[in-house]
Amino acid sequence: MAVKDDVEIFKARIDKRDYRRVVLSNSLQVLLISDPVTDKCAASMNVGVGYFSDPAGLEGLAHFLEHMLFYASEKYPVEDSYSKYISEHGGSTNAFTSSEHTNYYFEVNTDGFEEALDRFAQFFTKPLMSPDATMREIKAVDSENKKNLLSDAWRMNQSGHRMLHCISAFLNSGCSGCNCSQNSGHCGSRVRLFAKPIFPSEQPQFSLGVWGNWDTLEVKPKARGLDTREELLKFYDENYSANLMHLVVYTNESLDKIQNLVEEKFQDIINTNKSCFHPCGQPCKSEHLQIVVRTVPIKQGHKLRITWPVTPEIHHYTEGPSRYLGHLIGHEGEGSLYYILKKLGWATSLSAGESDWSLDFAFFSVVIDLTDSGHEHVEDIIGLLFKYIELLQHSGVCEWIFKELSAICETKFHYQDKIPPNDYVVDIASNMQFYPVKDWLTGSSLPFKFSPNVIHMVLGQLSPDNVRIFWVSKNFEGHTDKVEPWYGTGYSLEKITGSVIQVKFPVLLRRSTYSALWYKPDTLFSTPKAYVKIDFNCPYAGSSPEAEVLVHIFTQLLMDYLNDYAYYAQVAGLYYSITHTDGGFQVTLLGYNHKLRILLETIVEKIATFEVKTDRFSVIKEMVTKEYQNMKYQQPYQQAMYYCSLILQDHTWPWIEQLDLLPALQVEDVAKFVPLMLSRTFLEFYIAGNIESHEAESMVKHVENVLFNYSTPLCKPLFSSQHLVNRVVKLKSGMNYFYPSECLNPENENSALLHYIQVGRDDFKLNVKLQLFALVAKQPTFHQLRSVEQLGYITVLLQRNDCGIRGLQFIIQSTEKSPGNIEQRVEAFLKMFETKIYEMTIDEFKSNVNALIDVKLEKHKNLREESSFFWREINDGTLRFDRREHEVEALRQLTLQELIDFFNEYVKVGAARKKTLSVRVHGNRHSSEYKAEVSEPNFARIDNIFTFRRSQSLYGSFKGLSGQMKL
């Protein structure tokens, strides 16, 4: 039974048509339109599944499915009878596939509408996709591709986006609403920027990977053992769900009659409650920005396209920021940019506005058709464009201009001419996926809410740092060095430098015997937020297990005391945490900078005047005790990770000793310990974001005054010998160590292995070899050890970084296999993997190198992420703030032979210099194997972690006299 909707749909003043929104029992949303005077009827079904949902390795499947639905259905099995019926009744039909939806539509004479609608409904209930038709339509799609190979519009769209590698732009960015694994890279393979109509009369809008051809739909799937028809049927069943569909029906009948027709013909569409796929964020990485691409067209002429990734206007459609900016930048009146370019004889047309948008990304583009003279003055034209944008930024957003634009849009909407019913239903069906019900007819055509901040936000994104320039000219023929593989378009690519000089890395702004201040202003995010980290380096805090547990209780009490006050700060967008570390504790603040200092001063004051409250001590002690008691219920693989850290990292204490201490601890122990802990302290600050350097220094001075400069100071500076170092056990070359243990929870049947391969100290060249190997081996590890051998659900290969000491670790948890058995399978895998790495082709090597470069060049998404990256460098003592740039350069110089040499030296089974540590945690099903664990040939058993740790050499610490460090 359909449900009527009482929401009023906003329509034009002169619109005499009647509208009704209904929702069928299968969740299909429908808009009914009654127009008694129309002589044509129409319908459009918008399915919320597009080429972003193409399965990996089957590019073009969504578009191919669009073709196949036109063939036949169980009810109407004669091929092409649908299209024949439409044609015989004075109509037309078409469809197109976009990034996030596929739209089907038809128009027909009124006397043929009911049967046409019935035939149309079969697309979404019981279509026939016969094997014979499948093969013929693959050939048709391939033919469709070939006919456009000499079309400049298609060539420029395909080439421009392939040059930017946008096909892989979402790799490692995660996704929402789809069923893929975020670690699989699947979503990255879906990213295409354009949509596509199936008939040639419409303008081309998308890239080849979305369209598909004989290679992507037949050759490559067959080589992988896939049947395209079976994949087609699976794709249809998995994605064509009623809850993702929006239907518009336009006839001359009453709304009640239309509703009855729709209920009868569309209620059988299956609803699987499928989630709509959305990619996350902008597809452009740093290498896609600040570039100019010179491209050779087929036809004569010159064109310039300047684009910026921007916030999609769909999220601010009532404010219309891109519409406002497009109105000004694309203006053609006196004093406009185009007016100047035309007067100079450099341009014949100019347009500006948002293009290629989805819910998650959009581009603002300025497109200029150039004269021969304009082609010779492109740098001047681009300079004038940025001068004009700068003028807009300085002059501010004008309310009168917005109101004028809003009035024009309103008049145009209310007094618009009728358009053909098929165009009308397509527009509305597309709107239904993105806009609330009341705005289904208007979409984004009626900006009415004046918001200078929103317009300024988008205007700020039109910067030289974000720009991408496409320059198309026949004059480039013979002067390009690259060829786009699908269309054979010649092009060249060049990196350009932004005009804004920014502080890219933290600087050591201030140092004293009390503290060091690392400072990094916000140059990327333009938000009124700041990040503050204070590391309290207190030697007494890490001197014993008892000291460590007392620090833990102290930080929990401190958070408890601040809770009532800080709650209101959190409501206002200010967040903080206080956590214990191996050498003291850390205070972290993040949020709006306006009141951040007040919160910081309150926290420091609470530290300086700390007193233990007996009632709260009892509560916190109980909480901490339970926390330690629950350690034994961790998963075996987590226990293995804990033991590995305990073995490798110097000056770490076992939690079991801390648990044993807890029952005897009293209020007096904490009260005596805190002043002792703080008596010798060094503070390391990291302050970043929307804070001026003098403000940052002022904060540090205030903290120093409170803690160090009172008449009876709470803290004194550290002696030089007391500064924190972080040292890691240096395993002996050629040795394989193993540490066996029983699972702490005797009821857990799972066992786990952590197989660690130590590589060495932080070094750009060594790091990228390790990272590249991990990238190459990650998927084969998962496939062989989990999918094929079924060792266990948790099967991962990860890099490991202990304070700048790099390595690899296989982590596997299994119910069926003992840790020793798993160890044998890991070594067997590495022996098998030798062949893969030895037989790797240069193209495969380069592809993996480029994938890793893409990851490294991805920009930080927010202030927290950027600060975490830089703080890791400070905390480890490595201070490689330009790490990504140097490692990218090292990757570009790396050879396949160097990767093979790395494998042979550090990873290969039996390598002379290889250093391994295996932690084996035995569940109750493998307790007998634990009891039988003895030293084996080529394996040295660790019986006591601390005896072993004291007997080994240590790597030198990167961290030392923090207060004396200098860039």
pLDDT in tens, 736-770: 999 999 999 999 999 999 999 999 999 999 999 99
Q: Do residues 386 and 4 lie in contact, with contact meaning Cβ atoms separated by under 8 Å?
A: no
Q: What angle do CA 238, 239, 243 make, to 5 degrees?
A: 115
Residue with tokens 């300025």: 366
CB burial string 908-937: b at 16+ within 10 A, e below: bbebeebbbbbbbbbbebbeebbeebeeee
Whether the predicted pLDDT of 714 surpasses 50: yes
pLDDT digits (tens, 9 = 90+) for 429-463: 999 988 999 999 998 888 989 999 999 999 999 98
What is the reported pLDDT for 939?
82
Q: Is 817 exposed, middle or buried (0-12, 13-18, 19+ CB in 10 A)?
A: buried
**Predicted pLDDT at 183:** 29
The per-residue pLDDT for range 371-386, each reduced to its tens digit, is: 988 888 888 788 888 8
Q: Could you tell me the pLDDT band of residue 729, with boundaries at 50, 70 and 90? A: very high
Identify the H or E element spanning 794.
strand 794-802
At residue 195's C-alpha, the angle toward residues 192 and 201, to 5°, is: 145
List C-alpha distances in Å: 670 to 548, 560, 604. 11, 15, 18
Give the tens place of pLDDT for each residue, 259-295. Answer: 999 999 999 999 999 887 666 566 677 777 888 888 8
Spatial separation of the C-alpha atoms in residues 618 and 663, rounded to whole Å: 11
What are the backbone angles phi and psi of residue 536, rounded to the nearest 5°? -90, 105
Q: Enter the tokens of residue 845.
A: 């090597």
E strand residue ranges, 608-750:
682-689, 736-742
pLDDT over 60 at 867, yes or no: yes
The pLDDT confidence band at residue 501, using thresholds 50, 70 and 90, is very low
Task: Give the mean model confidence (pLDDT) for residues 579-599.
Answer: 93
Say if residue 161's pLDDT is above 70: no
Q: What is the C-alpha to C-alpha distance for residues 378 and 376, in angstroms, rounded to an integer? A: 6
pLDDT exceeds cutoff 70 at 588: yes
Say how far apart CA 728 and CA 761 lie, in whole Å.
Answer: 10
In this prediction, residue 487 has a pLDDT band, given cuts at 50, 70 and 90, of: low
Closest by Cα among 542, 577, 555, 579 to 670: 555
SS3 59: coil
| Region for residue 172 given its phi and psi (left: phi exceeds 0; alpha: psi -120 to 50; beta: otherwise) | left
Cβ-proximal residues to 261 (8 Å cutoff; 6+ apart), any chain:
114, 117, 249, 253
Provide the sign of the torsion angle of the four alpha carbons 799, 802, 806, 810, taken in this order.
negative
Range of lowest pLDDT (16-20, 211-215, 361-365) = 211-215
3-state secondary structure labels for all residues of 867-932: HHHHHHHHHHCCCCCCHHHHHHHHHHHCCHHHHHHHHHHHHCCCCCCCCEEEEEEECHHHHHHHHC
CA-nearest of 198, 65, 199 to 124 is 65
Q: Hey, is 245 helix, strand or coil? A: strand
How far is it, in rounded angstroms, from Cα 639 to Cα 741? 10
State the chain's maximal CA–CA distance in angstroms: 99
Active site residues: 66, 137
Q: Are 670 and 612 in contact (CB under 8 A)?
A: yes
DSSP label at 309?
E
Q: How many residues does the chain have?
A: 967
Neighbours of 349 (CB within 10 A): 14
Q: Give the number of C-alpha atoms closer than 13 A to the C-alpha of residue 567, restricted to the C-beta side.
A: 5
Q: Which of 175-189, 596-610, 704-718 has the lowest mean pLDDT?
A: 175-189
Q: What pLDDT, on a 0 to 100 scale, did the predictor assign at position 493? A: 84
Residue 675 has pLDDT above 70, yes or no: yes
Q: How far is CA 52 from CA 49, 97, 232, 330, in A?
A: 8, 10, 15, 31
Percent of the chain surpassing pLDDT 70: 89
What is the 3-class SS of 684-724, one letter each residue?
Answer: EEEEEECCCHHHHHHHHHHHHHHHHCCCCCCCECCCHHHCC
Predicted local confidence at residue 278, as pLDDT: 65
Nearest to 132 by CA among 81, 197, 72, 63: 72
Which pLDDT score, from 0 to 100, does residue 963 have?
A: 35
Sign of CA dihedral 600, 602, 608, 612: negative
Instruction: Look at phi and psi of residue 126 and say left if phi exceeds 0, alpha if psi is from -120 to 50, else beta.
Output: beta
**Averaged over 688-692, what is the pLDDT?**
90
Task: Count CB-CB contacts under 10 A for residue 108.
Answer: 29
User: What's the confidence (pLDDT) of residue 590?
Assistant: 95
pLDDT given at position 344: 79
CB 207 within 8 A of CB 164: no
Residues 381, 346: contact at Cβ < 8 Å?
Answer: yes
Confidence of residue 725 (pLDDT cuts 50, 70, 90): confident
Mean of pLDDT over the chain:
86
Give me the residue label for tokens 């030296």: 905
Structure tokens at 338: 């185009």
Q: What is the DSSP letter of 783?
A: I
For the ranges 759-773, 802-816, 947-961, the lowest mean pLDDT is seen at: 947-961
pLDDT digit string (tens) for 810-836?
A: 999 999 899 999 999 999 999 999 999
Residue 870's CB is within 10 A of a number of other CB atoms, namely 21
> pLDDT at position 5, please?
65
The model's pLDDT over 217-269, given as tens digits with 9 standing for 90+, comes to 888 888 888 888 899 999 999 999 999 999 999 999 999 999 999 999 999 99
pLDDT, average across residues 468-474: 90
Enter the DSSP assignment of 462. S
Count of Cβ atoms closer than 10 Å to residue 63 Cβ: 27
Dist CA 221 CA 58 (whole Å): 7
Identify residue 73 by its one-letter amino acid code: S
The pLDDT assigned to 578 comes to: 95
In this prediction, residue 193 carries a pLDDT of 30
Q: By 3-state DSSP, what share of the chain in percent is helix, strand and coil, each rounded to 5?
A: 45, 20, 35
pLDDT tens by residue, 85-127: 999 999 999 999 888 889 999 999 999 999 999 999 999 999 9
